[in-house]
Chain A
């Protein structure tokens, strides 16, 4: 597998998540949709319902806050509107994705003759619950009124229902349409209305069928009780908002309804069931049933009215529950047997728990949930179940893991695992100490690690088994190919990830010293500091640094005396990042610690004596005080603290000891 096949990220391209822009109104709309859907499934005491409700209140409060400014008062309410697959907030339209909760909610509002809701500042939880239950109940009904007042006899505190009839410039004034006490229409319609009926009556496509309907009624009734405007009113009341988006659509919709109504009236009259077309109820009923067939999703042939309103030809035969017998086997048995025999005979069907396929399938499904569910649904069993499956992974499981980590595109966009989805898998492996599976799955090949560096480098280190020489050899190759310069340049970004590699692992990575890993050692010391001093000292000792300043690691074996500054300095010196003179203070510190530390146990050991002697070469304040301790000189007798003075003092002290 080549590095390209693994499609790594390019070096330096860090994965940053976009900070979500605050859009409280959108959040309110989403929360409202989620809440409505949740209430259709769960009882209102369910935690999911309660959480959604809390989200509504929170988003609502933030929406109200964000709508006010210094010059204008805070808005009294927040309107959430739906219009033909668009979500309308503050006049801005956003497309509603198919299959989303918003699309689901829009369908319910549509059936309930609503364009949306205005959430007032006095929003009441109980009112919202009651409203939602009514909304869901309306959706369940297949027949029934569509009139707004009949659908919504009650009012709900803190909520203003916005009916979906009038919007845009084809709204009509309330007087003309006997608008009977509904609620505010959309803001634009209030301000900019035209006479909808007049628009329609300008078109011959509408007036011609109207005239014919009037003529039909005249034949039957003594007098008409409806007018053309009356009929138009009724049709418009039943019309969905998207039929009103422009003149042509409106006229076409009304023309279709009138045409269907003509046919229906004709048919009813022929059946002799329609006694008076002027009968208000009959007209309403006919209009309703005809309009529903035009304005609902299901086609005319599928709606109930076609059955319910139809005049039955005969009483339906009483059907027995169940049936008289199984379908007789009138199939050609021989033909069937031939088809069956043509199926491949069983070959390698193996129903075995230990078979890799079961585990592979389990891993694939569980990883799907890990990646796609995120924090939106609490799945308490996901981690432990996935952990169980990954305990002893076979090849199939590793192949599944590789597929997810490779982030391969799938057949359709919806199934694509994006780069952001790789993170949950890596995160899971890290949290469950299963980073070794990254290597086992084949993801961490040398080429890929080098190319992707510094991304995933910490994970790569964590996945190694430092006690396995092959892994260490591989690490050496990786470090060599990355190179010291690149490793050091990546120190900044990598510093943040230090906590992800344990101290024990860091120590283990220093076990088998190699000059190729000096830069890595430098990184490790940044991550873990003094806690890995012992391992680092041993590492430095064994790689046999040629700098003179390295004499201490060769001389002193007890890493307790080394300061991290010294060890870090040595590494920097070797990497060319500093000069030897910069280490003098650090060396002096180490010498002093050693001298002090060995005072009781080995006061005259050659190593200690050597350290004392070395003080001469590394004068510093610490060296001076050390000498003080050793010689018990009176400070005030010295005239100077210059290095030269220290040197002279040390020389004289040496003479004393030698003499002693």
Chain B
């Protein structure tokens, strides 16, 4: 799987909890599709999964653990796991097919039981029509501690009835916008994760990589950005810690397209940039697991191997006769610096294209501002200052334009105003500290009266009676 290399501190503070457990389950399932039983990658994924389960059990007070599924969402203790849901289409699809409301784990669930579950699910639950069949098959393979659960809408047991509604979600204490646009955007994000997982599986198996599916989703991204960029850009500031490259690649594509849209209307070029951004790190599929998971600082050899992901990325894309040369170029060059240097070494006989520079900028920005579990996220301002200090890495005028396009308070982010309102940034104005905002709630989270809700262009307020005080984290998903 495409995991980023974690530092020692990140590894020690790797998040636990249901979301992380779901992630580990998906990783194990995906690895099982690629490697045969006993492969070190599978064993390692199972180790992580067992460890995650142990923590989850402890969180549940040592009792039974139930992971629910309904309406395309995953639940834990009636709390929707939006974050985990976005990465778990591979898990949700078979559950949906089996008409199952989730998976239940006995506290005595062993590593071998988890292995049986993972193996079974990696075959898309082959041989089972519905969840009772799946349970029989699990038992047949010696697993008696894990059960596929009845559907969500079943009145029996702890599962409520009816479809998920706004109140249920809000009642869980999370200010999740459940308007249709977000549903569509979440679905798009989920589809993108699934597509990139499949791309990784294909790359690992050495087969030709077909980027048509990803291409289709780029169209959807562009459409959503054109309609209303806020929800997608909110997802690009996704709070939940994401150890996987997929989230990074998806967010880089959102940022790159949002930026590129302001410089061109050319749909073909935008499409190509989007695809290139999505695929820019596909080469990590070929970086050995031991390097991605090396403890402590990387050795010179490991660093060299990691840096080869750029070369591998181009090779993976070129496995297909219909490869897009721009995607190949971006995968190869996105770590080369504008002023020379970087990697990989090659004959620098051409300029770095603006498209590559855009992806590079967004790649670095996303990496700097990505969530880390053990410390606050870096503010955009600090990230910009670091980027400005990286001599020779970026074309300076483009960096300037990127900063003004993205802003100190990026589109989609929530901010606290000096008038005790919480607002969401809708657009940049050219004045980095005075974007256009839409007020949503009071600072305490109470809904505003209709007359208080509105769109405010802060740049039109020269006296700054109303201004942004603080950039806020989106609700934990």
Which residues of chain B from 299 to 335 have a CB within 8 Å of any chain A CB?
299-301, 304-305, 314-315, 317-323, 325-326, 328-329, 332-333
Are B346's CB and A329's CB within 8 A? no
Chain A residue with the shortest CB-CB distance to B20? A321
- The CA-CA distance from A367 to B8 in the complex, in Å, is 39
- The CA-CA distance from A350 to B354 in the complex, in Å, is 7
Chain A residue with the shortest CB-CB distance to B346? A368
| Contact of A400 (CB < 8 Å), options: B333, B350, B395 | B350
What's the A-B contact tally at a CB cutoff of 8 Å? 284
Is the CB of A280 closer than 8 A to any CB of chain B? no
Which residues of chain A from 403 to 431 have a CB within 8 Å of any chain B CB?
403-404, 408, 410-412, 414-415, 417
- The CA-CA distance from A99 to B305 in the complex, in Å, is 8
Binary A-proximity of B283-305 (CB < 8 A = 1, otherwise 0): 00111111001011101110011
Binary B-proximity of A270-303 (CB < 8 A = 1, otherwise 0): 0000000000000000000000000001100011
Are A362's CB and B351's CB within 8 A? no
Are B332's CB and A357's CB within 8 A? no
| Contact of B347 (CB < 8 Å), options: A136, A388, A408 | A408
A177-185, A211-219, A332-340, A571-579 - interface stretch: A332-340
- The CA-CA distance from A366 to B39 in the complex, in Å, is 34
| Contact of A319 (CB < 8 Å), options: B40, B355, B373, B472 | B373
Chain B residues near A104 (CB-CB < 8 A):
288, 301, 305
Which residues of chain B from 368 to 420 have a CB within 8 Å of any chain A CB?
371-379, 381-382, 384-385, 388, 395-401, 403-404, 408
Is the CB of B178 closer than 8 A to any CB of chain A? no
Binary B-proximity of A35-60 (CB < 8 A = 1, otherwise 0): 00100111111111000000000000
- The CA-CA distance from A72 to B166 in the complex, in Å, is 85
Is the CB of A137 closer than 8 A to any CB of chain B? yes
| Contact of A414 (CB < 8 Å), options: B326, B345, B354, B401 | B345
Which residues of chain A from 375 to 397 have a CB within 8 Å of any chain B CB?
377-382, 384-386, 388-389, 396
Given contacts A327-B377, A353-B272, contact A322 B350 (CB under 8 A): no
Are B379's CB and A410's CB within 8 A? no
- The CA-CA distance from A399 to B347 in the complex, in Å, is 12
| Contact of B288 (CB < 8 Å), options: A41, A46, A48, A400 | A41
Given contacts A42-B206, A327-B376, A347-B397, contact A98 B301 (CB under 8 A): yes
Chain A residues near B378 (CB-CB < 8 A):
327
Is the CB of B225 closer than 8 A to any CB of chain A? no
Chain B residues near A343 (CB-CB < 8 A):
388, 396-397, 399-400, 403
- The CA-CA distance from A133 to B340 in the complex, in Å, is 41
- The CA-CA distance from A404 to B297 in the complex, in Å, is 37
Q: How far is the CB of B430 from chain A (nearest CB, A)?
A: 12
Are A349's CB and B398's CB within 8 A? yes
Chain A residues near B285 (CB-CB < 8 A):
41
Chain B residues near A345 (CB-CB < 8 A):
397, 400
Chain B residues near A298 (CB-CB < 8 A):
295-297
Binary A-proximity of B33-49 (CB < 8 A = 1, otherwise 0): 01110111001100000
A interface residues, tally (CB under 8 Å): 91
- The CA-CA distance from A104 to B299 in the complex, in Å, is 11
Chain A residues near B379 (CB-CB < 8 A):
326-329, 331
Is the CB of B128 closer than 8 A to any CB of chain A? no
Are A137's CB and B40's CB within 8 A? yes
- The CA-CA distance from A322 to B243 in the complex, in Å, is 12
Are A48's CB and B38's CB within 8 A? no
Is the CB of B136 closer than 8 A to any CB of chain A? no
Given contacts A43-B34, A43-B39, contact A344 B375 (CB under 8 A): no
Are A353's CB and B354's CB within 8 A? no
Are B403's CB and A358's CB within 8 A? no
Chain B residue with the shortest CB-CB distance to A134? B40
Interface centre among A37, A43, A337, A382 (most CB of B within 10 A): A43
B11-19, B69-77, B94-102, B156-164 - interface stretch: B11-19
Is the CB of A625 closer than 8 A to any CB of chain B? no
Chain A residues near B13 (CB-CB < 8 A):
319
Is the CB of B154 closer than 8 A to any CB of chain A? no
Chain A residues near B388 (CB-CB < 8 A):
339-340, 343
Is the CB of A497 closer than 8 A to any CB of chain B? no
Are B8's CB and A302's CB within 8 A? yes
Is the CB of B264 closer than 8 A to any CB of chain A? yes
Chain A residues near B260 (CB-CB < 8 A):
351
- The CA-CA distance from A140 to B266 in the complex, in Å, is 48
Are B318's CB and A385's CB within 8 A? yes
Are A403's CB and B268's CB within 8 A? no
Is the CB of A656 closer than 8 A to any CB of chain B? no
Is the CB of B367 closer than 8 A to any CB of chain A? no
- The CA-CA distance from A337 to B432 in the complex, in Å, is 8
Given contacts A344-B400, A373-B315, contact A321 B373 (CB under 8 A): yes
Given contacts A47-B206, A325-B473, contact A103 B301 (CB under 8 A): yes
| Contact of A323 (CB < 8 Å), options: B205, B304, B332, B473 | B473
Interface centre among B43, B286, B318 (most CB of A within 10 A): B318
- The CA-CA distance from A633 to B119 in the complex, in Å, is 98
Are A358's CB and B323's CB within 8 A? no
Given contacts A319-B374, A364-B347, contact A357 B354 (CB under 8 A): yes
Chain A residues near B404 (CB-CB < 8 A):
340
Is the CB of A526 closer than 8 A to any CB of chain B? no
Is the CB of A314 closer than 8 A to any CB of chain B? no
Which residues of chain B from 194 to 224 have a CB within 8 Å of any chain A CB?
204-206, 208
Chain B residue with the shortest CB-CB distance to A350? B354
Interface centre among A41, A136, A344 (most CB of B within 10 A): A41
Chain A residue with the shortest CB-CB distance to B331? A365
Chain A residues near B315 (CB-CB < 8 A):
369, 373, 377, 379
Are B347's CB and A368's CB within 8 A? yes
Chain A residues near B347 (CB-CB < 8 A):
364, 367-368, 403-404, 408, 410, 415, 417
Is the CB of A346 closer than 8 A to any CB of chain B? yes
- The CA-CA distance from A333 to B468 in the complex, in Å, is 12
Are A380's CB and B318's CB within 8 A? yes
Are A349's CB and B345's CB within 8 A? no
Are B333's CB and A326's CB within 8 A? no
Chain A residue with the shortest CB-CB distance to B431? A337
Are B268's CB and A353's CB within 8 A? yes
Are B346's CB and A415's CB within 8 A? yes
- The CA-CA distance from A366 to B328 in the complex, in Å, is 8
Are B432's CB and A142's CB within 8 A? no
Are A353's CB and B269's CB within 8 A? yes
Is the CB of A361 closer than 8 A to any CB of chain B? yes
Chain B residues near A321 (CB-CB < 8 A):
15-17, 19-20, 240-241, 373, 476
Is the CB of A363 closer than 8 A to any CB of chain B? yes
Which residues of chain B from 397 to 452 have a CB within 8 Å of any chain A CB?
397-401, 403-404, 408, 432-433
Chain B residue with the shortest CB-CB distance to A298? B296
Is the CB of A352 closer than 8 A to any CB of chain B? yes
| Contact of B397 (CB < 8 Å), options: A139, A349, A363, A381 | A349
Interface centre among B319, B354, B371, B432 (most CB of A within 10 A): B354
Is the CB of A360 closer than 8 A to any CB of chain B? yes
Chain A residues near B403 (CB-CB < 8 A):
340, 343
Chain A residues near B290 (CB-CB < 8 A):
40, 108, 136, 139-140
Is the CB of A201 closer than 8 A to any CB of chain B? no
Q: How far is the CB of B315 from chain A (nearest CB, A)?
A: 6
- The CA-CA distance from A362 to B272 in the complex, in Å, is 13
- The CA-CA distance from A364 to B350 in the complex, in Å, is 7
- The CA-CA distance from A382 to B347 in the complex, in Å, is 18
Chain B residues near A107 (CB-CB < 8 A):
299, 301
Q: How far is the CB of A387 from chain B (nearest CB, A)?
A: 10
- The CA-CA distance from A45 to B20 in the complex, in Å, is 30
Are B354's CB and A349's CB within 8 A? yes
- Pairs across A and B, CB under 8 Å, 5 listed: A98-B304, A99-B300, A302-B8, A357-B352, A362-B329
With A133-B40, A326-B379 given, name 14 new contacts (CB 8 A): A46-B206, A48-B206, A139-B290, A140-B289, A298-B295, A319-B373, A326-B473, A343-B400, A351-B260, A362-B325, A362-B353, A365-B333, A403-B349, A415-B347
Counting from the closest, the 4 A-B pairs by CB-CB distance are A403-B349, A360-B350, A343-B400, A321-B15
